[in-house]
Amino acid sequence: MSTGDRRRTALLPPTYDALGPRRAAALIFWHALTEYDTTGHISGKGKVTCFDTFMAAGPSVISALINLGLGDEPSTEVTDGCEAFLYELFGHRE
């Protein structure tokens, strides 16, 4: 990967091993949900906070993220899981 004159190497196998198969599968959808890259961000929440919340998320949130984008409309499980992630991100406990 590179930005201008700076180059970095990202080793994918260690990253995959650290995340585990389910979180690795959910990572791209977490990225889409948190709108990181050039499209903006979640109000008042930085990338590290969003990632820490992702890493602490339970199995239902990870499953919801993995299934994000499947079908014509999101299932109840997907919307509930994404909502739970955002509640956790903003410090709300159910």
- For residue 14, the model assigns a pLDDT of 92
Report pLDDT digits (tens) over 33-87. Answer: 887 555 556 777 778 888 999 999 999 999 999 998 898 999 999 999 999 999 9
Query: Is the confidence at residue 93, as pLDDT, over 90?
Result: no
Map the chain to HEC letters: CEECCEECCCCHHHHHHHHCHHHHHHHHHHHHHHCCCCCCCCCCCCHHHHHHHHHHCCHHHHHHHHCCCCCCCCCHHHHHHHHHHHHHHCCCCC
Separation between Cα atoms, residue 81 and residue 14, nearest integer Å: 27
CA 88 to the chain's CA centroid: 13
In the predicted structure, residue 17 carries a pLDDT above the cut 90: yes
